[in-house]
Homo-oligomer: A and B are copies of this chain.
Amino acid sequence: MNQKILSSCLALVLGAGVGYALDAYAQAKPEVLVKQRQAVMILHGKYWGPLGGMAKGKVPYNAEIVARNARFLDALSQMPWDGFHPSTKDAQNTKALPAVYDDPAKFKEAQDRYRAAIGKLVAAGDEGAFKAAAGEVGKSCGGCHNDFRAKK
């Protein structure tokens, strides 16, 4: 492989102001972890938004968009959790509450409920199943957002 081109690609990615640990096992800086968590939530907005609209009947049901967005949400819903590393407990610019670090078992339960609901969303084969699954996703969002995230 072409090391030089790969290096410049890595430099480009670094140049984007992202920053990451080159060592797969090293922990990224707290502020990087927070940015990565927030990036996941921005993309939840992009891909859950239209599904929420469909579930509420504000947007016509579109099976193709549902299937694509559910697939993306399946990936996204796995991404935030390792970013809630203890090193981020005192990080700035985050609405994560101390409960994230003080009650990890309850936080994990909320994550698991959310992941299970997303699994149903991915498996939903028609509008009825989609609406039922979307309802569960909606409820499960609150599992983290109500108890582990500051309101303001």
Q: Which positions in A face B, CB cutoff 8 Å?
A: 1-3, 5-10, 12-16, 18-25, 28, 35-36, 38-46, 48-50, 52-56, 58-60, 62, 65, 71-72, 74-76, 78-79, 95, 131-132, 134-135, 137-139, 141-142, 145-146, 149, 151
Contacts and interface: CB of A to CB of B under 8 A. Distances in A.
Given A24-B53, A53-B24, A16 B2 contact: no
24 contacts: A1-B131, A2-B139, A5-B138, A6-B135, A12-B142, A13-B45, A16-B38, A16-B42, A16-B45, A16-B95, A18-B45, A20-B45, A21-B49, A22-B49, A22-B50, A22-B58, A24-B60, A24-B62, A36-B42, A36-B43, A38-B39, A39-B43, A72-B79, A75-B76
A80 to B, nearest CB: 10
